[in-house]
């Protein structure tokens, strides 16, 4: 997808070998979105894959948009952005194909959602949207990507920073 954003990476403590961060996504997801993480996990001893987590998170994110739940949206999009810019292919690929690629599959308001997606992520996943969405829907999403500012950047970054400061086991 894209090169990692060093600011976001340093906020969550990902440095050096990208493969060392694989277990880190679970800690971060569990801290930022504990209910969603528990729902995606098979049981108390066998945790979900990052793909399972994103497939669980996707409909809940759509619902949070419909309910305008700013707290949840900050955590959901903050985690998704962290994953999308991560240097590890397993992590950024999951964010792309299991979350962003399908975010606009239903009638969700593209303008409202786009305000939560960074320009870097938009640019990275635009090709996925073009490939998977019907032409008319893609045109609407692409217009939103060009016109709508990333007005919820602070909420997304704050959600990640709080977990980084307090540690994953807060």
Encode pLDDT of 58-71 as tens digits.
Answer: 999 999 999 999 99
Confidence of residue 160 (pLDDT cuts 50, 70, 90): confident
User: In the predicted model, what is the mean pLDDT of the chain?
Assistant: 83
- Exposure string (b/e) for 12-49, b if CB count within 10 Å is 16 or more? bebeeebeebeebbbbbbbbbbeebbeebbeeeeebbb
CA distance 81 to 149: 15
The secondary structure element, H or E, covering residue 170 is none
CA distance 22 to 140: 35
Is 141 exposed, middle or buried, given 0-12, 13-18 or 19+ CB atoms closer than 10 A?
buried
Token pair listed for 65: 């948009």
Which pLDDT score is estimated for 117? 97
DSSP state, residue 41: S
| Mean pLDDT, range 118-135, rounded to an integer | 96
Which pLDDT score is estimated for 10? 34
pTM confidence score: 0.82
């Amino acid at each position: 997808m894209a090169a990692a954003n060093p600011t976001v990476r340093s906020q969550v403590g990902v440095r050096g070998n990208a493969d060392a961060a694989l277990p880190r996504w679970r800690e971060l997801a569990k801290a930022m979105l504990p209910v969603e993480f528990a729902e995606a996990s098979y049981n108390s001893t066998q945790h979900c894959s990052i793909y399972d987590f994103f497939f669980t998170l996707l409909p809940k994110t759509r619902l949070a948009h419909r309910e305008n739940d700013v707290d949840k949206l900050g955590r959901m999009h903050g985690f998704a952005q962290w994953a999308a810019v991560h240097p590890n292919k397993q992590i950024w690929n999951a964010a792309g194909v299991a979350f962003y690629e399908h975010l606009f599959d239903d009638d969700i308001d593209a303008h409202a959602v786009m305000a939560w997606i960074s320009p870097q992520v938009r640019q990275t996943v635009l090709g996925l949207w073009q490939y998977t969405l019907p032409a008319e829907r893609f045109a609407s999403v692409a217009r939103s990507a060009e016109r709508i500012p990333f007005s919820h950047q602070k909420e997304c970054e704050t959600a990640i920073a709080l977990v980084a400061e307090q540690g994953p086991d807060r």
